[in-house]
């Protein structure tokens, strides 16, 4: 009796071989998957970039209007500067953020030094202003949050501060007088971002500490030291403003000598 095709081992082998998937089909599936993944990623990235570009363009437009209304009179319509104010080309976002967020700009009046006051602009308006200025030329940008936490090496920060800053700001950051009516402001209670931007841009009489002078990590250490001073009061009792021998000598002169004079007068009056 003849064997059926399903029972014939040769025929069975041929059926299996014909039903096996071709290696080219696997390669084609992999290529399709890669193309699909790449297409989705490209579409997502393009959409994200377009959204970011649109937001930046809107900020730049808003910043341009704010600049023309509040800053162009002194700094020029094209940031070129005038006889009463310097050029802002290349100062970067950090410089504008420092000056505007601390209220130093717009200036209230001409003087030896612009003092801190309440800012005239909201946080969004400040962002718009520094985005507009930064769009004209490259410069120091807004510092990364990783350097502003105040959780780095306070001991190293103290060493760097004593070496680079204490001659003007006092070793305890209490500030000090300079020449021609200028002064180094106190650093107690100042925001970490403001301190970083000041080191990065060197406002007014302050020298610039760029990344070649002080690395971002070293700036973070300085901030950590200053925040340590904010959170830890003087262990020696009354600090007298942390002004060193000047305030201490004045205290001794007024109260010490005054006490001696008072006791002398009292003893003389009692003897008479």
- At 227 the pLDDT is 96
DSSP secondary structure, 52-106, as one string: HHHHHHHHHHHHHHHHHHHTHHHH-TTS---SSS---TT-HHHHHHHHHHTT-SS
First to last CA, the chain: 155
- At 80 the pLDDT is 94
Tokens of 93: 């976002």
- At 198 the pLDDT is 97
- At 50 the pLDDT is 46
Q: How far apart are CA 217 and CA 272, in angstroms?
A: 70
| CA dist list (Å): 272 to 172, 260, 268, 269 | 50, 19, 6, 5
> All domains of the chain, ordered by start, with CATH?
47-141 (1.10.760.10)
| CA dist list (Å): 106 to 65, 131, 180 | 15, 17, 22
DSSP state of 252: I
- At 39 the pLDDT is 72
Q: What is the pLDDT along the chain (272 residues), one digit of tens a residue?
A: 455 545 555 555 554 455 556 667 777 777 787 777 777 666 665 544 445 566 678 999 999 999 999 999 999 999 999 998 999 999 999 999 999 999 999 987 777 888 999 999 999 999 999 999 999 999 999 999 999 999 999 999 999 999 999 999 988 898 888 988 899 999 999 999 999 999 999 998 899 999 999 999 999 999 999 999 999 877 666 666 666 666 667 777 788 888 888 888 888 887 76
Q: How far apart are CA 202 and CA 187, in angstroms?
A: 15
Residue 92: which residues within 8 A CB-CB, separation 6 or more?
133, 134, 138, 139, 140, 141, 201
- At 49 the pLDDT is 46
- At 48 the pLDDT is 45
Q: How far apart are CA 8 and CA 14, in angstroms?
A: 10
- At 109 the pLDDT is 79
């Amino acid at each position: 009796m003849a064997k059926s095709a399903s029972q014939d081992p040769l025929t069975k082998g041929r059926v299996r071989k014909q039903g096996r998937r071709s290696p080219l089909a696997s390669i084609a599936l992999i290529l399709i998957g890669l193309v699909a993944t790449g297409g989705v990623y490209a579409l997502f990235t393009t959409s994200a970039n377009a959204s970011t570009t649109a937001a930046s363009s809107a900020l730049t437009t808003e910043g341009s209007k704010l600049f023309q209304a509040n800053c162009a009179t002194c700094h020029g319509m094209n940031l070129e500067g005038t006889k009463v104010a310097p050029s802002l080309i290349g100062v970067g976002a950090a410089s504008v953020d420092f000056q505007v967020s601390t209220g130093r700009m717009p200036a209230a009046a001409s003087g030896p030094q612009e003092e801190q006051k309440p800012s005239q602009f909201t946080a969004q308006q400040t962002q718009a202003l520094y985005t507009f200025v930064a769009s004209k030329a490259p410069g120091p940008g807004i510092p990364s949050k990783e350097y502003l936490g105040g959780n780095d090496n306070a001991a190293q920060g103290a060493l760097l501060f004593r070496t680079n800053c204490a001659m003007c700001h006092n070793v305890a950051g209490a500030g000090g007088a300079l020449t021609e009516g200028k002064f180094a402001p106190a650093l107690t209670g100042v925001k970490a971002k403001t301190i970083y931007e000041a080191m990065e841009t060197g406002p007014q009489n302050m020298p610039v500490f760029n990344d070649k002078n002080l690395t971002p990590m070293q700036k973070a250490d300085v901030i950590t030291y200053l925040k340590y001073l904010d959170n830890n009061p003087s262990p020696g009792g009354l600090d007298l403003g942390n002004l060193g021998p000047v305030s201490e000598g004045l205290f001794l002169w007024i109260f010490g000598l005054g006490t001696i004079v008072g006791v002398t007068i009292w003893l003389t009056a009692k003897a008479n």
